[in-house]
């Protein structure tokens, strides 16, 4: 089973929650829905822990360093069978 890891960033402002999402790009999304948004994520490298992969992918895709208190969420299985 393929495994990806990502970060779901959020913040509370007044009475609302705001989420940080990205629009996927690259050759896989050329003919896909332009309304697609996702968390920054990607597949784990060999021997890499999920949190390490999630931080690496965020920094690669967004171009910013990130740190903080991370809370592990329950994984989901995408329609194609990938665990995220």
Question: What pLDDT score was predicted for residue 18?
Answer: 96
Q: What would the two tokens of residue 12 be?
A: 């509370």
- pLDDT tens across the length of the chain (84 residues): 889 999 999 999 999 999 999 887 766 666 666 678 889 999 999 999 999 999 999 999 999 999 989 999 999 998 989 999
CA angle 23, 24, 26 (to 5 degrees): 135
Domain extents for the chain?
4-62
Q: What would the two tokens of residue 80 be?
A: 């194609």
Question: What pLDDT score was predicted for residue 50?
Answer: 95
**CA 24/CA 38 separation, integer angstroms:** 7
Question: What pLDDT score was predicted for residue 38?
Answer: 87
pTM of the model: 0.82
Angstrom distances, CA of residue 61 to CA of 1, 23, 65, 80: 23, 10, 11, 22
């Amino acid at each position: 089973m393929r495994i990806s890891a990502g970060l779901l960033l959020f913040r509370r402002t007044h009475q609302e929650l705001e989420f940080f999402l990205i629009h996927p790009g690259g050759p896989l999304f050329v003919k896909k829905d332009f309304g697609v948004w996702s968390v920054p994520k990607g597949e784990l490298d060999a021997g890499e822990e999920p949190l390490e992969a999630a931080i690496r992918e965020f920094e690669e895709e967004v171009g910013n360093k990130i740190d903080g208190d991370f809370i592990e969420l329950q994984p989901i299985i995408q329609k194609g069978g990938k665990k995220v």
